[in-house]
């Protein structure tokens, strides 16, 4: 008999259901007895004891279903040691729920903040397996996170659709892609969608360089320009500000512009007089069915997690490195971000074919 708990925490994305399916099927096909407890709305369910026993039927037909059948919520890691409004010790409450259900393992699907809490529970003595979910692909220790490729496909399609109207009207279009701290999603969607300028958080931009790129295209007789801009893109001037000054700057910007893309559009218009439009795909990038790549990746990750549970080998994140599924100790990867570097081969390839990064 194995008893496992499962939860999905943080922002939703495609392939959460597919990954849980991989875990449960990997266990059910190799055990005579299995009990699976699903916690509602992420760590909140574990803290307050909101759970339900799941059967094999719950995991049938969900390979292609987006979102999460368990629900999700954000529970900031920095607040995990802070009692709730009623004085409840959240960490102790999670441990009590775990022991009450006599769980053999807790399978946690989520991003960076989720992973840090998973490692905290490991340090508290619980058996934990973490599966790396995020459309940002920013988890250290794995080449790919599930949800990323599906989001790339959606963001790329948004850029594809903009091409026709941009070329018809001879306009400058900015497509704002998700990504506050890292630019993997914008980088890949920008390259795949044929963007002319890509702005990401890791490579601070110079507005004059952007304008130079626009003017160069105009001189070459090109009627339109498309910019793929990460929501966390930052100028060279802002990149050197202290956290306090940057926070103040963002507060001031929010009074004038909905996001960085609108600020960039305003600066370009004032400098050039060019007609500019901003498109924000927003949460559509998290939605819909997982793409074929993510379905395969999720099945591989989930199946390997089942293997670790069968072997009672706990305390790991399951990742993929050089197309091989690997276990990575949680203490080694928790809290680390995988950033885009200016020397990344995809960045270099993009620059080689003429894509500007505003630097």
Residue 301 has pLDDT above 80, yes or no: yes
Using pLDDT thresholds of 50, 70 and 90, give the confidence band for residue 274: confident
136 is annotated as an active-site residue: yes
Contact residues for 161 (Cβ-Cβ < 8 A; gap 6+): none
pLDDT tens per residue across span 31-81: 999 999 999 999 999 999 999 999 989 999 999 999 999 999 888 899 889
Burial 104-114 (b: 16+ CB within 10 A, else e): bbbbbbbbbbb
- pLDDT for residue 260: 94
- pLDDT for residue 153: 97
- pLDDT for residue 75: 87
- pLDDT for residue 26: 96
Q: What mean pLDDT is reported for the chain?
A: 94
Residue 162 has pLDDT above 90, yes or no: yes
Show the tokens assigned to 158.
Answer: 């948004």
Within a 10 A sphere around the Cβ of 58, how many other Cβ atoms? 18
What's the average model confidence in pLDDT over 169-193? 94
Cα 197 to Cα 208: distance, rounded to the nearest angstrom? 13
Q: Name which of 127-136, 254-263, 289-298 the model is least confident about.
A: 254-263
Residue 139 has pLDDT above 90, yes or no: yes
Q: Is the pTM of this model over 0.85?
A: yes
- pLDDT for residue 68: 94
User: Which of the following is catalytic: 12, 40, 41, 136?
Assistant: 136
- pLDDT for residue 243: 87
Show the tokens assigned to 267.
Answer: 């600066």
SS (H, E, C) 7-32: EECCCCCCCHHHHHHHHHHHHHCCCC
**Burial label, 56 (beta-carbon count in 10 A; 0-12, 13-18, 19+):** exposed
Percent of the chain with pLDDT over 70: 100
What's the average model confidence in pLDDT over 213-241? 92
- pLDDT for residue 249: 87
Using pLDDT thresholds of 50, 70 and 90, give the confidence band for residue 146: very high
Using pLDDT thresholds of 50, 70 and 90, give the confidence band for residue 167: confident
Domains and CATH numbers, the chain: 2-147+290-333 (3.40.50.450), 150-286 (3.40.50.460)
What's the average model confidence in pLDDT over 261-282? 92
């Amino acid at each position: 008999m194995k008893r496992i708990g499962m939860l999905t925490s943080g922002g939703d994305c495609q392939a959460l259901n597919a990954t849980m399916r991989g875990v449960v099927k990997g266990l059910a096909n190799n055990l005579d007895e299995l009990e699976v407890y699903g916690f509602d709305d992420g760590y909140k369910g574990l803290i307050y004891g909101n759970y339900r026993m799941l059967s094999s039927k719950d995991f049938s037909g969900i390979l292609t279903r987006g979102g999460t059948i368990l629900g999700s919520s954000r529970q900031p890691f920095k607040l995990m040691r802070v009692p709730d409004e009623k004085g409840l010790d959240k960490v102790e409450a999670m441990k009590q729920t775990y022991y009450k259900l006599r769980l053999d393992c807790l399978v946690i699907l989520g991003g960076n903040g989720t992973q840090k809490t998973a490692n905290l529970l490991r340090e508290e003595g619980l058996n934990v397996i973490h599966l790396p979910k995020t459309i940002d692909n920013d988890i250290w220790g794995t080449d790919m996170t599930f949800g990323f490729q599906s989001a790339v496909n959606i963001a790329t399609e948004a850029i594809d659709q903009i091409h026709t109207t941009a070329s018809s009207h001879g306009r400058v279009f900015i497509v704002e892609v998700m990504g506050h701290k890292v630019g993997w999603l914008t980088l890949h969607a920008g390259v795949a969608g044929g963007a002319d300028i890509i702005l990401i958080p890791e490579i601070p931009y110079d507005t004059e360089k952007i304008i130079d790129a626009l003017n160069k295209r105009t001189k070459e007789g090109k009627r339109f320009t498309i910019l793929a801009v990460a929501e966390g893109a930052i100028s060279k001037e802002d990149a050197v500000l202290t956290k306090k000054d940057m926070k103040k700057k963002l507060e001031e910007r929010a009074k004038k512009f909905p996001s960085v893309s609108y600020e960039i559009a305003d600066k370009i218009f004032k400098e050039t007089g060019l007609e500019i439009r901003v498109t924000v795909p927003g949460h559509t990038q998290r939605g819909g069915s997982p793409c074929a790549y993510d379905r395969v990746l999720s099945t591989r990750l989930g199946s390997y997690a089942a293997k670790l549970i069968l072997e009672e080998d706990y305390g790991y994140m399951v990742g993929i490195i050089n197309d091989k599924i690997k276990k990575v100790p949680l203490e080694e990867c928790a809290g680390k971000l995988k950033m885009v570097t200016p020397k990344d081969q995809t960045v270099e390839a993009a620059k080689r074919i003429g894509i500007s990064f505003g630097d």
